[in-house]
Structure 1
Amino acid sequence: MTGQTWERVPIDAQSVEAPLSQAAVFLVVAVEPDDRALAHVRETLATVDDLIKTVGFRDLAGRLSCVVGVGHDIWRRLAKTAQMPAELHPFKPIVGAKHQAPATPGDLLFHIRAERVDLCFEFERLLLAALGEAVRVVDAVSGFRYFDARDLLGFVDGTANPAGHDIPAAALVGEEDPDFAGGSYVVVQKYLHDMTGWNAAGASAQEEIIGRTKVDNVELPDAGADAQKSHKTLSTIVDEDGTEHDILRDNMPYGDPARGEFGTYFIGYSRRLWVIEKMLERMFVGDPPGRHDRLLDFSTPKTGTTFFAPSRRVLTGLCGG
Structure 2
Amino acid sequence: MKAAAYASQNVTDYPNNNTIFAIWKFKEVPGIPAAFERLCGLVDNLNHSFTIRVPSGRASCVMGIGHDAWVQLGLPSPLPKELKPFEAITGAKHTAVTTPADLHFHLRGPDMAVCFDMLIAITEVLAPVADCLEEIHGFRYWDGRSILGFVDGTENPVGAERQQFAIVGDEDPAFKGGSYLFVQKYLHQMEAWTRLPVEEQEKVIGRYKLSDIEMTDAVKPGNSHSALASLEDEQGNELKIVRDNMPFGNPSKKEIGTYFIAYANTFSTTRRMLERMFIGVPAGNYDRILDFSTAITGSLFFVPTMDLLGQYSAGDAS
Task: Give the TM-score range, shorter chain.
Answer: over 0.9
For residue 279 of structure 2, the aligned residue among 285, 295, 309 is 285
- Contact kept in structure 2, 1:27 and 1:137, CA below 8 Å: yes
- Contact kept in structure 1, 2:181 and 2:262, CA below 8 Å: yes
The range that moved more, 296-305 or 129-138, is 129-138
- Opposite residue 136 of structure 1, the aligned amino acid is D
- 1:237 aligns with 231
- 1:59 aligns with 54
- 2:258 aligns with 264
The range that moved more, 191-200 or 236-245, is 236-245
- Contact kept in structure 1, 2:43 and 2:62, CA below 8 Å: no
For residue 304 of structure 1, the aligned residue among 287, 298, 307 is 298
Task: Report the alpha carbon displacement of residue 320 of structure 1 after superposing the two structures with TM.
Answer: 7.3
- 1:15 aligns with 10
**1:1-321 counterparts in 2 under 5 A?**
12-54=7-49, 57-222=52-217, 228-319=222-313
SS of equivalent to 1:14: coil
Deviations 1:9-53 (A, max 9, x none): x96011011122000011100122344223222222222121334
Task: Report the alpha carbon displacement of residue 79 of structure 1 after superposing the two structures with TM.
Answer: 2.8
SS of equivalent to 2:257: strand
- Contact kept in structure 1, 2:50 and 2:60, CA below 8 Å: no
Task: Report the alpha carbon displacement of residue 134 of structure 1 after superposing the two structures with TM.
Answer: 1.3
Q: Distance in 2 between matches of 1:244 and 1:320?
A: 42
- Opposite residue 192 of structure 2, the aligned amino acid is G
The range that moved more, 311-320 or 90-99, is 311-320
- Contact kept in structure 2, 1:62 and 1:119, CA below 8 Å: no
- 1:5 aligns with none
Cα 1:289–1:258 change in 2 (3 A) is: same
Deviations 1:74-106 (A, max 9, x none): 111223542211111111101111111110111
Structure 2: gaps (5+ residues): none
Q: Distance in 1 between matches of 2:180 and 2:42?
A: 22
- Contact kept in structure 1, 2:44 and 2:306, CA below 8 Å: no
SS of equivalent to 2:128: helix
Task: Report the alpha carbon displacement of residue 287 of structure 1 after superposing the two structures with TM.
Answer: 0.5
Give the total of aligned pairs.
Answer: 311
The range that moved more, 55-64 or 67-76, is 55-64
- Opposite residue 185 of structure 2, the aligned amino acid is K
Compute the RMSD of aligned alpha carbons.
1.9
Percentage of identical aligned residues = 41
- Opposite residue 207 of structure 2, the aligned amino acid is R
Q: Distance in 2 between matches of 1:306 and 1:262?
A: 23
SS of equivalent to 1:28: strand
- Contact kept in structure 2, 1:71 and 1:306, CA below 8 Å: yes
Cα 1:78–1:319 change in 2 (3 A) is: farther
Q: Distance in 1 between matches of 2:123 and 2:74?
A: 22
Cα 1:151–1:224 change in 2 (3 A) is: closer
